[in-house]
Amino acid sequence: MWRNKNIHFYKLLGCGKGGTFDIHPDVQQWAVLVTTNQPFTNNQTLYGKFITNWWKSFNCELFTVVLHPTEGHGLWDGKKPFGTLPKQTAEDGLTAVLTRATIRLSKLKAFWQNVQAAASPLQKAEGFLMSVGIGEVPWIKQATFSVWQNKQAMKQYAYGTKQHAQVIGKTRKENWYSEELFVRFKVLQASGTLNGINPLQDYLH
């Protein structure tokens, strides 16, 4: 990918089980995140023939979400991969969220002890559509990508759910992260399937 001039930033990511942070990896599921200024037409146009033929040769199930960043703050490896974004906008509707952090080694135990309590209400949250737990380095560099019917539903879970709000408070008070990034996106397209379905199909027009 580093030779692809259409891709400006990319990460190859492992996945956790259950659609969120999990200390146990899902070795059958992987994620690729890329940024590009080119209009998306299909995976082959973006990634090239070699990579798409590689996926085909292993009969991989593919799910692709095309996003436009709208709000956010923070860094990823010291960079702003989505550019300089406002912290708040009036943008609403189908909303994707990427939360990513590098966990301090001294805070790993505290982080993983609190993950389940924060994540357990996620699947039943109003307006929740899908999530994937992703990471660059097992246990240390972790992220969650989730999609919501609207921004209000996402905020209600993040700040209105007691368990999740308490963990957010702990991350600040105890300084768990050496680097973090939070970005919201407008969902433009979703194609392919994830575990046999397209979870966003009914929400895109």
Q: Letter for the amino acid at 34?
A: V
| Confidence band of 20 (pLDDT split at 50, 70, 90) | low
- Provide the β-strand partners of residue 97: 146, 184
pLDDT digits over 157-177, tens only? Answer: 887 877 777 888 888 889 999
Q: Letter for the amino acid at 199?
A: P
Average pLDDT (179-196) is 96
| Confidence band of 18 (pLDDT split at 50, 70, 90) | low
- Which tokens in the block code for residue 96? 């994707």
> Closest by alpha carbon to 111, among 14, 13, 22, 12?
22
Q: Does the structure show a pLDDT above 70 at 101?
A: yes
- The pLDDT score that the predictor gives to residue 55 is 95
| Confidence band of 194 (pLDDT split at 50, 70, 90) | very high
Residue 198 to residues 57, 71, 194, 202: CA-CA distances in angstroms?
22, 25, 6, 9
Q: Letter for the amino acid at 176?
A: W
